[in-house]
Amino acid sequence: MADAVFWNHLLVRRDAIAAIDPRAADAREQLLAQLSTIDECFQRSFDPADQFEEYVAVSLCQALASALKAQKPP
């Protein structure tokens, strides 16, 4: 059941990210907010030995957020 909650949450975040207008002045911040939501909710929820796919998905979101934060805004 917990896995379904995670994947549903990830799907909702994906939909929210897809709905971001790339021309919006705050598009980058909106994307960071969506990625941060995933990290805040699930950052220490998954053991890579037991729930590898979920662990990788959260790690990917963390890496994307870090890369975006390190990039200087235009």
What is the value of pTM for the model shown?
Answer: 0.84
**Domain parsing of the chain, residue ranges:** 2-70
- Exposure string for 25-51, b = 16+ CB within 10 A, e = fewer: eeebebbeebbeebbeebeeebeeeeb
Q: Per residue in 5-53, pLDDT tens? A: 899 999 999 999 999 999 999 999 999 999 999 989 888 889 999 999 9
